[in-house]
Structure 1
């Protein structure tokens, strides 16, 4: 699977691991999507021109989940690089609002998962399972 990039280089992607106690929130990317079809993934998206990645994360979480998160003050907890993308992942433990599917054109479901449920999911990126398991073990 690939994510397209323009002439400026790999697509810059930001995502958040929303953690609420012993569960994490994932979004299901519908089968009709162009990239990463029919998989569970982290909420997030592309960094817009002129935006800082942390600002993009706050915007994407608002657009996709209808929540207000604080802008991260530290570095991402993880980075995943592919041939056409560079994804930064931040841990998000604090937000206001209740996460809902505010972007049905991007995903068809939003759900919370505990450690025992993660192994049975088809995830967008292989490194997500050990990362999410480690986050829930903290």
Structure 2
């Protein structure tokens, strides 16, 4: 983490049928009610993929391996954006152990790329989804 901004990781989980997992943030939290790729803050002692494995276990109750986290892109907040300054690193995953569930509240759903693009999302997740699903 760096002074004035925060590194965040997010996971785009793809099921065998081509649908993607999205997490709806609990009401009452920042961006409550909006859909996002699950993930969270990178701690100072962690590499991003390690952080994603930890976050996916905490948020979804699944076990993932860092080797199965493939870099897919990033998005960053702009000067003048409201809220905390963020850089989100997005990784795709097609393998994990367990059935994802919303451990920390909110809900999860599996969506086609077109459905995921249409969901109300925080601005950086809008960017990430547009890049991820560009060729779908």
**C-alpha separation between the residues in 2 aligned to 1:110 and 1:74?**
20
Tell me the equivalent position of 1:10: 5
Query: Which contiguous aligned blocks of 4+ residues in structure 1 show a shift greater than 6 angstroms?
Result: none
User: How many residue pairs end up in the alignment?
Assistant: 127
**TM-score, reference length from structure 2:** 0.82
Q: Is the 8 A contact 2:69 2:93 kept in 1?
A: no
Tell me the equivalent position of 2:116: 118
**C-alpha separation between the residues in 2 aligned to 1:69 and 1:120?**
27
1:1-138, aligned counterparts within 5 Å?
8-21=3-16, 22-33=18-29, 35-72=30-67, 76-83=71-78, 84-104=85-105, 108-124=106-122, 125-134=125-134, 137=136
**C-alpha separation between the residues in 1 aligned to 2:111 and 2:69?**
25
**C-alpha separation between the residues in 2 aligned to 1:79 and 1:7?**
17
Tell me the equivalent position of 1:3: none
Q: Which moved more, 1:81-90 or 1:59-68?
A: 81-90
**C-alpha separation between the residues in 2 aligned to 1:119 and 1:88?**
18
| Gapped regions of structure 1 (runs ≥ 5) | 1-5
Q: Could you give the per-residue CA deviations for residues 80-130 of structure 1, whole angstroms, max 9, x where no partner exists?
A: 1114111100011110111011112xxx10110113422431012321332
1:54 CA drift (Å) = 1.0
Change (3 A) 1:8 1:40: same
Q: Is the 8 A contact 2:90 2:128 kept in 1?
A: no
Q: Is the 8 A contact 2:21 2:109 kept in 1?
A: yes
**TM-score, reference length from structure 1:** 0.81
| Gapped regions of structure 2 (runs ≥ 5) | 79-84
